[in-house]
Structure 1
Amino acid sequence: MSATPKPKVTVILANLGTPDEATVPAVRRFLKQFLSDTRVIEIPKPIWWIILHLFVLTFRPKRVAEAYASVWSNDSPMREIVLEQTELVKQRLQLENQHFDLTVVPAMTYGQPSIYTVFEQLEKDPQEHVILLPLFPQYSATSTAPLYDAVAKWIPKQRHLPGFTLIKDYYQHPMFIQALADSVLTYQTKYGKAEKLLMSFHGIPQPYADKGDPYADRCRMTAKLVAEALHLHEDEWAISFQSRFGKQEWVKPYTDVVLQQWGEQKVKSVQVLSPAFSADCLETLEELAIQNKELFQHAGGGEYAYIPALNSDQAHIDLLASLVQANLDALTHTLAHR
């Protein structure tokens, strides 16, 4: 008598994306895909098409490619880290869920490995259930929502639909907050505590927040909880938002403005943490670690250090696995009682 087949479950760990290479053509392809998404850019399409093709894709790729080249090794840092995160989470989940035929795969909203390629594979190998974990701790319509859109595009084409779970975010999850706090303490144990801790998050345009995007409020809550976990006084830390693009107002305060002011105030030392990034990437390794260090010190500031993202730290892998495991436990219960 043959054994009952194990239910097939696929877990997808998805990040935003990265170019295939640190070259101008590859960066141009990536920026075209990324900046053509109406979730990211809400300017009317005809107007934005002209701006994108005549200006952005003409002048920006060279500068961005040079920035990528300064942090690129064998591959994009983000892609290398996401692949490592996926492998570690897979090992953990497969060990603890042997009653499932469990697959864990990486995906990117833009670039490779594409979320759409993952969906194509699911069509060839129908699953009982799919769990999608966006690697964005704080939900935003500019980052997490495009993954919802990808799912929405895929579902109408399917005849054999799996159950589907999309984990929205985890900006105040106790394991997340503790992992961030511990990363700061570990760094400070080795290098000492700075006069100021700056928690810098990727920004979004202020009009997006005004229309209801909860991202900035979630960032503020993350920062508040981390500061509380570290027992910091109000004058020992600040929150800021980086990477603004274009001329419109973005959520404030701006990271570069805060660092400029601290430099002018002769702040002796600054450490920067970026709790919005689950993997180090161009915005952390080049913008935060290099550009903003130069800005702060040129303005008169002292020592400056970037504290790495959680990346593949054990506490981070434990968190990601735990987020998925809660849904696998619920699925186990559901399958046992249907």
Structure 2
Amino acid sequence: MKRASGQYNAAMTSPRTAVVLCNLGGPDSLEAVEPFLRNLFSDPDIFQFPAAAFTQGLFARLVAWRRREEASRGYAALGGASPIGANTQDQAWALEQALADLKARVFVCMRYWHPLTGEVVAALKAGGFARVVLLPLYPQYSLTTSGSARNEFLRACARLHYSPDVRFIDSWYEEPDYLDGIAAAIGREAQRFSVPDPARISLLLSAHGVPQRLIRQGDPYQRGIEETARLVRARLAWPRVTLCYQSRVGPLEWLRPYVDDVIREQGREGVDQILVYPIAFVSDHIETLYELGMTYARLAREAGVREYHVVPALNADPALIRALSRLVRTALREER
């Protein structure tokens, strides 16, 4: 069956409702790494400077140039590009099929690489979509993710004089199908261990970290992550589950405990089986495949951990698609 993509062909007959799946994005080649990083560090919702019109661009160019080599190594290890674009597109195709009775079109919208928000908003306007469900693929709200996606979408709408009825879904980690999908995925991956007994496996729930300063300013991200972890624990009833945080950069204090510290500590304690689930991500990309899957796997071996596995993100798992479909239907008041 041919996949119903046709994502930016405004000549196609367009229904009134569009669903926009928002994600971070990632470079589609090694040459795209530096401009991707420039876009990331130019985000005013994450990095705020006095006289930003003059200083933000300079900061973004400098940091992107300094980080390109390290970042390029990670993407090179994944074959030279981020898989997040393809994985998000698979989710969009699956969701469009799940919403076929609503005749809703599903678009992919990336914050820092193509298809960029301005491109998507232009396509929505050209297609005559009067109603848009904006669905960030971040289960736990943060200004740095869902909030940034929403703000950029509204800025792009204003620039193009486009005024659809926008229905924004900001946080959805309590969706039962999403949580059931996580529990099932963890159970499947646990079978890869030589002794697949939950009593013998240390489960790490790893979330992308943010600076402590952001949480002190009122961002609800940490509460959402902790509640997600609690709900997952309740479904699993495993004896040893640790919530930890990854991907910190720079000198600021970030949310703790750091996943690398936890791995080292558990290695010292004699833990010989560690299973990691990326609790803040629904798509596999550099943080799951390279950071967790390669960098921390090497660290675990060095720490004396005999077996270390990372649970794949849900990607286009039917449980996740059911959760996203329910969210859209609720937003449209057509829940069934």
**When the two structures are superposed, what TM-score results if normalisation uses the length of structure 1?**
0.88
Aligned counterparts of 1:237 and 1:265: Cα–Cα separation in 2:
15
Q: Please give the per-residue CA displacement for 1:214-261, whole angstroms capped at 9, x wherever unaligned.
A: 10111011011101110123xx11000100010010011111111111
Q: How does 1:1-338 map to 2 (within 5 A)?
A: 8-21=16-29, 23=30, 25-42=31-48, 44=50, 45=52, 52-54=60-62, 56-72=63-79, 76-94=82-100, 96-97=101-102, 100=103, 102-157=104-159, 161-191=163-193, 192-193=196-197, 194-233=200-239, 236-330=240-334
Q: Please give the per-residue CA displacement for 1:184-210, whole angstroms capped at 9, x wherever unaligned.
A: 112224542452000000000000000
Aligned counterparts of 1:245 and 1:43: Cα–Cα separation in 2:
18
Residues 137 and 169, structure 1, Cα contact 8 Å, conserved in 2 = yes
Amino acid at match of 1:66: R
Unaligned runs of at least 5 residues, structure 2? 1-12
CA RMSD of aligned residues (A): 2.2
Aligned counterparts of 1:14 and 1:258: Cα–Cα separation in 2:
31
Unaligned runs of at least 5 residues, structure 1? 333-338
Q: What is the SS of the residue equivalent to 1:84?
A: helix
Q: Please give the per-residue CA displacement for 1:263-306, whole angstroms capped at 9, x wherever unaligned.
A: 12221100000111110000010000111111122122221110
Aligned counterparts of 1:174 and 1:72: Cα–Cα separation in 2:
35
Q: What is the SS of the residue equivalent to 2:153?
A: helix
Aligned counterparts of 2:79 and 2:151: Cα–Cα separation in 1:
30
**When the two structures are superposed, what TM-score results if normalisation uses the length of structure 2?**
0.88
Distance change (3 Å), C-alpha of 1:50 and 1:187 = same
Q: Please give the per-residue CA displacement for 1:28-85, whole angstroms capped at 9, x wherever unaligned.
A: 100000011122224554666555444x233310121121111137x53111110111
Aligned counterparts of 1:52 and 1:78: Cα–Cα separation in 2:
22
Aligned counterparts of 1:132 and 1:175: Cα–Cα separation in 2:
20
Amino acid at match of 2:179: I
Q: Please give the per-residue CA displacement for 1:74-101, whole angstroms capped at 9, x wherever unaligned.
A: x53111110111111111111x22xx4x
Q: How many pairs does the alignment contain?
A: 318
Q: Please give the per-residue CA displacement for 1:147-177, whole angstroms capped at 9, x wherever unaligned.
A: 1212321343465622110111211222221
Aligned counterparts of 2:178 and 2:134: Cα–Cα separation in 1:
18
Residues 139 and 168, structure 1, Cα contact 8 Å, conserved in 2 = yes
Deviation of residue 327 (structure 1)? 2.2
Q: After the TM superposition, which parts of structure 1 deviate over 6 Å for at least 4 consecutive aligned residues?
A: none
Residue 336 of structure 1 is matched in structure 2 by: none
Amino acid at match of 1:186: R
Distance change (3 Å), C-alpha of 1:272 and 1:43 = farther
Residues 266 and 302, structure 1, Cα contact 8 Å, conserved in 2 = no
